[in-house]
Amino acid sequence: MKLKSAKLKLFSLMAGMVMLFTGCSGTASPSSVSTSSEVQNTSVSASSETYNLTVDFLKVGKADAAVIKTENHTVIIDCGEKTDGKKVRNCLNTLGVSAVDYMIITHYDQDHVGGASKVLESFPVSHVIGAYYTEASTEYDLLCEQMDLQGLEWEYVTSSAMTFTLDDAYFEIYPCQQKTYHDGDDNNHSLVIKMTHHDEVFLFTGDAMQERLVELMDMGDCDVLKEPYHGREVANLGEFLDNVTPEYAIVSTDEENYAESTAQALADRNIETYVTFSDGNIRCTSTGTSVSFETWMNFKEDESAGDTEITSETTAEAESETLAEESN
């Protein structure tokens, strides 16, 4: 897939106009936050070169935390529980990251936003992207306090997709399509991120449940899927898998929450699956035409140097053919 540059777009949920919401303190609803109608162009022109890209899915129990590293830029998708901020920080140190371009919080449950304030204490972050609602929780408030200290403002994704390009990776962030849902209102407000790295497509689904998955049925094919809702049972998961047809799935969960029905749905479709509670941390490396996987249980911290290193235990290779190869 040929990549193209894109401007960062924010569209109002009510009026459909482009806007950036500012302010953070407390748990006021986004509608009460001051707004700006000016577009911030934070996109980076797509590179004509092809670089390797890595995605680290961290072992954070029944929580989500992923770190994407392009050639020159870094994106975080969720930060796990409050105690997981250190794990995200250690991962960033291991990757040699000195600054984060985008921190995306898919929704504000504590197992997604909990470690975000710790990351902000340790690394400068240029943009914090969030869903268009707020959460009355200590973890959410701690993140807001850190954002205020650093002069950061929430950038909400509302009625239309936000897009940006970093090096040779193209990002699309999709908001929910309803204000309220019958099941799992917070979970169904999850932002969904589609990342295209040449021929390889990654889909991050947050905690999307049944009603939210209905909205995602036409997302198109993906190569690597971050399984929704920590691998818990979702009635229409099979239909969703049939629509997005992943080759590989990552389940960020603990043993208790990994539903047998989910494991069976993945197995029935011959989707190669990695699970954090059994495989540990999972690194997916994309060359743009293939992906490979490496797993290990812990980031080992060198207390004397303040650095971290990876203790690798198992590796797995997974090659996918290019479109040109498929046509031959």
Give the CA radius of gyration of the chain.
19
The pLDDT of residue 266 is above 80? yes
Cα dist from 267 to 241, 257, 319, whole Å = 11, 17, 19
Q: Is residue 24 part of a domain?
A: no
Query: Is residue 56 within 8 Å of 283, Cβ to Cβ?
Result: yes
Instruction: Please give the residue range of the domain that contains residue 247.
Output: 49-327
Structural domain contains residue 27: no
Is residue 309 situated within a structural domain?
yes
Domain assignment of residue 13, yes or no: no
Residue 16 is assigned to a structural domain of this protein: no
Is 303 a domain residue?
A: yes
CATH number of the domain enclosing 74: 3.60.15.10
- Domains identified in the chain, total number: 1
Q: What is the pLDDT of residues 118-129, one digit of tens each?
A: 999 999 999 999
The verdict on residue 35 lying in a domain is no
Q: What digits encode the pLDDT tens for the residues 44-87? A: 445 668 999 999 999 999 999 999 999 999 999 999 999 999 99
Structural domain contains residue 198: yes
Distance CA(74)–CA(273), nearest Å, equals 25
Average pLDDT in the 247-255 region?
97
